Chain A
Amino acid sequence: MRELALHLLDIAENSVAADAKTIRIEICEDISRDRLSMKVEDDGKGMTEEMVQRVTDPFVTSRTTRKVGLGLPLLKEAAEACNGSLTITSKVGKGTSVYVDFQRSHIDRMPLGDIATTFLNLLIAHPPIHFIFRYMIGEKEFYLDDETIKSELQGVSMTEPVVLTFLRNFFESGIHSIQTVA
């Protein structure tokens, strides 16, 4: 995977698989401290301490269809190669939090990639899940608690073409506006 946005999608899909009801995703570009961090927090079924320790091992996965999991170990390696780290905290029955950070200016740091598409895909493909998206660059912030949108839609599907256009524009323009230097 060549984009951090794809890793973010991957981690969030783990949360979906863990039966999360709420998934909170945060990206923070701290320009003055030269750090880029991402956090995915869920209230899914969580993991035991032993599983947490083993989960960044490339030969461990919770899936049953395939014996090797590769998402988290590769991301951990990518972070460590950029003066960063990956931390997982989890409690059985409470949920899991994955935090990863990089030296933002590091030459090997993966590009962030298409955050708008990652957010849009997650929101649309999992209507029952409550998503909270936050993306900060310095002082600027994009924030969406999907409750505001879902309560307004009153059950109208997010894949209705007009709604889809609205949502896509909402993410694209919202994220573009904070990424553009004022």
Chain B
Amino acid sequence: MTEAYDPISDDELLYRRISTNKQLNYYNPDIDPNPSPKAFRPNHKFDLTGLSLYRAKYIRPQQVAENDREAKYFIAVLRAGDVRALGAIIEPCPDENKPGHVEITNLRSDNRRDTDELQFNLAESCLEVLGPFSMTVHR
């Protein structure tokens, strides 16, 4: 079985990328050690099949932050078992540009307004938030 599809154990750590844009206010450690639930809200345009996370087993936080827009990101750290305990379904979703990509398949753009509780609990279950990281890649 390739690494892309090997089972995700409960003890694995997962990374969630969070914008550092101060106007979004998704995360500010000076006011709250946890991110806003909005950092776990599916994007109405892009998260059609699920909310993206990355397996720490296969990717470094700096790589998760890689982008071609010179944007900086925080990286929230969650434990797979904690995420599953909240009712989230985590499935591998290989991405040729970034290894270890997975999705929470029951947290999508089409049900984003019915999953407020899961979004809130994901934000509250973060073990820590790393960064910010800035990794610009020109493709």
Q: Do A and B bind?
A: no
